[in-house]
Amino acid sequence: MPRRPASELAWLTYKEVVRRGAEMYRPVFEASGGRFGFISGQLDPRLLTETDRMVEEAVELHGLAPNVMIKVPASLQGIDGVRRLLEETGAARAAEGRHAG
């Protein structure tokens, strides 16, 4: 079996953590009609200038479960990404934080 890069393994692991968390809160989400029971999936802050990559990863995370809320870096490109994600998924918000660069 070919070895996968560490970055790919980290992404796969993170998606599994988000999926399991969403699964745990899904009953709350469903019982509240989608008002409560969200879990946050945060995008890599190093993507703060790459709108298309942010949106691509966010759509992938949100596709894991309907109660996954996406935290997007609050850069100019990130705000554009939030707008696009709200149109596509209805589940995104800007997250202020420190740039890891």
pTM for the whole structure: 0.83
Say what the pLDDT of residue 101 is: 44
Domain ranges of the chain: 7-95
pLDDT digits (tens, 9 = 90+) for 26-82: 999 999 999 999 999 999 889 989 999 999 999 999 999 999 999 998 899 988 988
Q: How far does CA 51 lie from the centroid of its chain? A: 13
71 is catalytic: yes
Q: Tell me, what amino acid is at 21? A: G
Q: What confidence score (pLDDT) does residue 97 get?
A: 58
CA distance 83 to 45: 17
pLDDT at res. 87? 86
Q: What is the pLDDT of residues 82-94, one digit of tens each?
A: 899 888 877 777 7
In sequence order, the β-bridge partners of residue 40 are: 69
Say which of 48, 71, 75, 82 is annotated catalytic. Answer: 71
Paired strand residues for 94: 72
